[in-house]
Amino acid sequence: MHPLSPTDPAQVGPYLLLGRLGAGGMGAVYLGRSAGGRTVAIKLIRPELADDQRFRARFRREVSAARTASSAFTAPVVDADPDAPLPWLATAYIPGIPLDEAVRLVGPFPEPVLRILAAGIAEELAAIHAAGLVHRDIKPSNVLLALDGPHVIDFGIARAADDSVLTAEGAILGTPSYLSPEQALARPIGPAADVFSLGSTLVHAATGAGPFGGGQPIEVVRRVAAEEPDLSGVPTGLRLLVAACLAKDPADRPTPRQLVDSQRLEPQPPGTWLHPALVAAVERSAAVLTPTLPPPLLPTMELPPPEPELKQPARRTLLYGLAGGAIALAGGGTAAYLTFGSDKSPATHGSSAPTRKLTDPDRPLDTTTIATALWTVPVSDPIAQVVGDGDSILTVDAKAIRGFDRDGKPRWEPKAAANSIMPTPVIGQVAAANGKGYYLTWEPKSAGTFGLRTSLRAIDLATGEVSWTFTNASVTATVGAVCGVLDGAVYVQVTGSATGSPGQQMFLWAVDTATHDTRWEQRFPNVGLSTGRLAVPTTGTRLLWEMNDMASGKFTLQGLDTQDAGNSVWHQPTPGTTPDSGALLQPFTDGPHSSAGGHLLYLADRVYAINPADGTVAWKSDATMTYQAVVANADGSTVFAAGIDYKTLSLRVQALNATDGTVRWAGTLPAGPMITNLGAQFADDTLYLWLHGKVWALDPTTGTARWTYTFQASNLALTVPLWAGGGRVYGPTEQGLTAVAATGKA
């Protein structure tokens, strides 16, 4: 426990605070005591998150889950106020030490202790699952070692096992090294996911490291999904049990009750199960349980009155994202959390910091100017995507397609699309606009049959009338994307199966906007963990097709000729040392995000400009990091690229000459509390960057931010529901669709 700082509150609810126990992504954890002497652990939410109504809803779910799961091996909820100015949750204080800290102190655990650990955590998982919950974030830091056994804590991302948000397509939630394969692959999550995480936690306790190694989180996630765990350091007597927990197929894993039954412990000699050094640490943590009187003893026994309002903690840059902590790619809130922190706030544009060169990558670009919304119109369901043509805006959500004019007035009645497919992080968006709006829907093939029929619909943005529909009746699809429009064709990508063809395949269709039929179709095998992404440039006759086989680690690029039935004219390995990083997370694949200056743009450890004729690299950027967003300006002369620098946990931005890749300007923005959902748009002589709902409007010639505005991050996998054009920027807020002027002023 650390002493309270001058910026910490003196009291939370009815509890006086005695010290700080720790801090995380959501806020700080304090030791508190009631007037009657009860000692509690209090999680106090950070001020910048308190105004986020979606976050409050998530925090209410955490409180509810923690209450529901309270048992002998959790920290029972004592009190909570999710509606307070700063929401808080108080649980019983458990004298103990986190498992990860324990391993650092005494090294790997011996087999008898590992068996107690396995049985204790499994007992708690059985209780959690019996309550209808899935914890989803079992990891060493969430296992507290006490004298009476292990305790599972932190229900911040727990959900009901039958929660539709939990099992939403594209949902990933958890911590990279301890994810289950179904979490890593954005598949439905059930109780078996916790068993997999338990297996990974046991490997950490046995070896001091996770079973899938370290490195960039996206690479760790790939190994979780595609590779076998390293169990060489696990004691022989436990190796089969741990291997069973780490089975790739959830159906092959034991249940928590089976794990408990398998660990019938032999009688042990008297003594504690913990190493003496850990016992001493636990006893030190228990010393705070005894109420003490302030010296000297005051005759009146009066305590100083609490302050009338909670002091606001000083701004802390506790940045958390894909570099560690918990990944959230959708479902109930696309978010990624890190357990790293810093007391230094990034410098902001306009501060007293010394003048830097335009090309200095550490040059601060941020601003304190916050834009004012022009209008907000209610939309009943979370918006997954926004596209438009300057005068009309099309929104896509789980139930309907909606049309608005630039002043926020509905242009037509919502078009029911209850089965419309939502965007996914792997292949891109499901709608596009180019004179008309184009979007995908998935419908049952016929009554009483299995499978979904894929339809591409063209809609008049002004009237909402569906001009034409294209359907391939032979294909039963599961996911898809409208990749872009080029030379009178809409390019569609879907994954599924075709009548008469065994196995899953990836299909590319060039749908003619005049004849409403396919110009050509290409098929690619979808074996194991392979994925594909089609990038459609602004001009030319070559498309960029990327194939990622996560099982083998092979990543390739192909140039497809639009004039030759989409056949490949060149085929080669992807450039770069981390080819999957940027491509896997890039939300857009249409023209401005895929081409500039006659080159095709590809993101990996650098920005690569690909010659469409032969696939050679025309130029590459000088900076090495994980790029996740790219867009060109209106005339294609400048390429703007952005990515997360995981070493500094900041957002790095570059403007590159589209001809040779030389840096025109560079700089950095504060990543904030969420590091995911990164996207870029260019319109109205402004570069817009979206990072988990926060938008910066940057001057394209200098990179300095003109204004910022906070929209609502998508609740779907890494999608970026942002569109800019016609002097407006559109995105979702808690109240619905919101517009901000390009100037940032109302």
Tell me, yes or no, whether 67 and 134 share the same domain.
no
Report if residue 629 sits inside a domain: no
For 65-107, what is each residue's pLDDT tens digit? 677 665 545 677 888 898 888 888 888 888 888 898 889 888 8
Average pLDDT over residues 32-54: 82
Q: Which of 223, 254, 277 is the last residue of a domain?
A: 277
**What pLDDT is attached to residue 607?**
93
Round the average pLDDT of the chain to a whole number and report it.
Answer: 80
CA distance 157 to 59: 9
Phi/psi for 5 (5° steps) reads -90, 165
For 129-171, what is each residue's pLDDT tens digit? 887 778 888 999 889 898 888 888 875 544 444 333 333 333 3
Report if residue 378 sits inside a domain: no
Tell me, yes or no, whether 147 and 246 share the same domain.
yes
Tell me, yes or no, whether 68 and 113 share the same domain.
no
Report if residue 272 sits inside a domain: yes
Residue 379 scores a pLDDT above 70 = yes
476 Cβ contact list (under 8 Å, min separation 6): 445, 450, 451, 452, 453, 496, 497, 498, 499
Tell me, yes or no, whether 209 and 117 share the same domain.
yes
pLDDT bin (cut points 50, 70, 90) of residue 266 is: low
Q: Which of 61, 93, 125 is the last residue of a domain?
A: 93
159-160 and 452-459 strand pairing: unpaired
Q: Which two tokens stand for residue 450?
A: 């299995």
CA distance 690 to 673: 14
This prediction has a pTM of: 0.59
Contact by Cβ (8 Å): 75, 67: no
Burial 655-694 (b: 16+ CB within 10 A, else e): bbebbebebbbbbbbbbbbbbbbbbbbbbbebbbbbbbbb
Q: Which two tokens stand for residue 14?
A: 């009815």
Contact by Cβ (8 Å): 258, 267: no
Tell me, yes or no, whether 111 and 52 share the same domain.
no
Domain that holds residue 218: 97-277
Average pLDDT over residues 264-279: 65
As a whole-number percent, the residues of the chain with pLDDT over 70 amount to 78
Q: Which two tokens stand for residue 410?
A: 């509905």
Residue 570 scores a pLDDT above 90 = yes
Question: Which are the catalytic amino acids?
Answer: 137
Report if residue 167 sits inside a domain: yes
Residue 345 scores a pLDDT above 90 = no
Q: What is the DSSP string of 157-212?
A: T-EETT-TTTT-TT--EE-GGG--HHHHTT----THHHHHHHHHHHHHHHHSS-TT
For 676-695, what is each residue's pLDDT tens digit? 678 999 999 999 999 888 99
Contact by Cβ (8 Å): 730, 738: yes
Tell me, yes or no, whether 22 and 114 share the same domain.
no
Q: Which two tokens stand for residue 304?
A: 């100083």
pLDDT bin (cut points 50, 70, 90) of residue 644 is: confident
Burial 129-166 (b: 16+ CB within 10 A, else e): bebebbbbbbbbbbbbbbeebbbbbbbbbbbbbebeeb
Tell me, yes or no, whether 164 and 88 share the same domain.
no
Q: Which two tokens stand for residue 153?
A: 């804590």
Report if residue 183 sits inside a domain: yes
Q: C-alpha distances in angstroms, 474 versus 497, 501, 506?
A: 8, 10, 14
**What pLDDT is attached to residue 568?**
97
**What pLDDT is attached to residue 410?**
95
For 655-683, what is each residue's pLDDT tens digit? 999 999 999 999 999 886 555 678 999 99
Contact by Cβ (8 Å): 491, 485: yes
For 421-466, what is each residue's pLDDT tens digit? 566 655 678 899 988 999 888 765 554 444 567 789 999 999 999 9
Which amino acid would we find at residue 594? Answer: S
Q: C-alpha distances in angstroms, 567 versus 235, 482, 570?
A: 53, 19, 9
CA distance 397 to 425: 16
For 464-503, what is each residue's pLDDT tens digit? 999 999 988 888 776 788 999 999 999 999 888 888 777 7
CA distance 521 to 606: 31
CA distance 124 to 406: 53
**What pLDDT is attached to residue 137?**
84
Average pLDDT over residues 11-17: 92
Report if residue 179 sits inside a domain: yes
**What pLDDT is attached to residue 458?**
94
CA distance 573 to 551: 16
Q: Could you tell me the CATH number of the domain that includes residue 167?
A: 1.10.510.10
pLDDT bin (cut points 50, 70, 90) of residue 594 is: very high
Greater pLDDT, 332 or 348: 348
Residue 725 scores a pLDDT above 80 = yes
Q: Which of 93, 121, 142 is the last residue of a domain?
A: 93
Number of Cβ atoms within 10 Å of the Cβ of 451 = 15
pLDDT bin (cut points 50, 70, 90) of residue 294 is: very low
Tell me, yes or no, whether 78 and 148 share the same domain.
no
Greater pLDDT, 105 or 210: 210
Phi/psi for 56 (5° steps) reads -60, -40
Tell me, yes or no, whether 119 and 264 share the same domain.
yes
**What pLDDT is attached to residue 671?**
81
Q: Which of 101-115, 603-617, 699-713 has the lowest mean pLDDT?
A: 101-115
Cα–chain-centroid distance for residue 637?
32
Report if residue 83 sits inside a domain: yes
435 Cβ contact list (under 8 Å, min separation 6): 389
| Number of domains the chain contains | 2
* 3-state class (DSSP) for residue 390: coil
Tell me, yes or no, whether 11 and 79 share the same domain.
yes
Report if residue 221 sits inside a domain: yes
Tell me, yes or no, whether 81 and 114 share the same domain.
no
Average pLDDT over residues 173-189: 77
**What pLDDT is attached to residue 714?**
61
Tell me, yes or no, whether 47 and 183 share the same domain.
no
Q: Could you tell me the CATH number of the domain that includes residue 38?
A: 3.30.200.20
CA distance 491 to 494: 10
Greater pLDDT, 320 or 73: 73
